[in-house]
Amino acid sequence: MARVPLIQEQNHPEFADAIEKYRAGRRGKLINIYRMLLNAPPLAESWFNHSNTVRWNTTLDGRLREIVIIRMGHLTNSQYVLRQHVPTLALAEGLSLEDCNALTEWDASNLFSDRERAALAYADTMTREIVVPDDIFAAVERHFDVRQIVELTVLIGTYNMNARVLQALRLDLEPLAS
């Protein structure tokens, strides 16, 4: 159970405009992360804008973004992130369920390109070690330009932040679609 209340939209008409914006940006649903964040409206707005920029306004391709996001869900044990991205968003970006499942032990799989493997090693290192050794970063530099390195780094950092907030507040999972 969530440690902070999830805003019930019918009880907060003052959030109607924000709620409509969040619904439009999240496949028509007011997902729990925004129901939680609306307890601090400026943070809800900032989170929404940042998340949308990281997800939709970078030069990273959708498959790579989802690979990294799903890996972050596994690394941080974020069931919320995994529920949001597997399978719907992952499949929409070209991943198979086999790809998604292989992300738990990606280094033992042959499903990922050298570029994807460099991004995964970078995500693992940023999350587990924080300080990234030169050899890991050099592999990233071989596959990504400077802009993409910044975008990838911010994507990984964002999902580390997300997981920590979601875990600390024990955000409830949305029910599975029937």
Q: Over the stretch 154-164, which tens digit does the pLDDT of each residue have?
A: 999 999 999 99
Question: What pTM was estimated for this model as a whole?
Answer: 0.94
Q: Burial of 165 by CB count in 10 Å (0-12 exposed, 13-18 middle, 19+ buried)?
A: middle
Amino acid at residue number 75: L
pLDDT at residue 121 greater than cutoff 60: yes
Question: What is the rounded distance in angstroms from the CA atom of residue 122 to the CA atom of residue 130?
Answer: 10
Give the CATH fold of the 62-168 domain: AhpD-like (1.20.1290)
pLDDT at residue 99 greater than cutoff 90: yes
Residue spans per domain, the chain: 9-56, 62-168
Non-local CB neighbours of 161 within 8 Å, separated by 6+ positions: none
- Exposure string over 101-110, b if 16+ CB within 10 A, otherwise e: ebbeebeeee
Confidence of residue 177 (pLDDT cuts 50, 70, 90): low
Return the closest-CA partner of residue 124 out of 152, 162, 95.
152
Average of pLDDT values for 128-145?
A: 99
What mean pLDDT, rounded, does the chain reach?
95
Average of pLDDT values for 86-108?
A: 96
Do the beta carbons of residue 170 and residue 33 sit within 8 Å? no
Average of pLDDT values for 144-158?
A: 99
pLDDT at position 45: 96
* Count of positions (residues) in the chain: 178
39-74 per-position pLDDT tens digit? 999 999 999 999 999 999 999 999 999 999 999 999
- What is the four-CA torsion angle of 31, 37, 41, 45, rounded to 10 degrees? -60
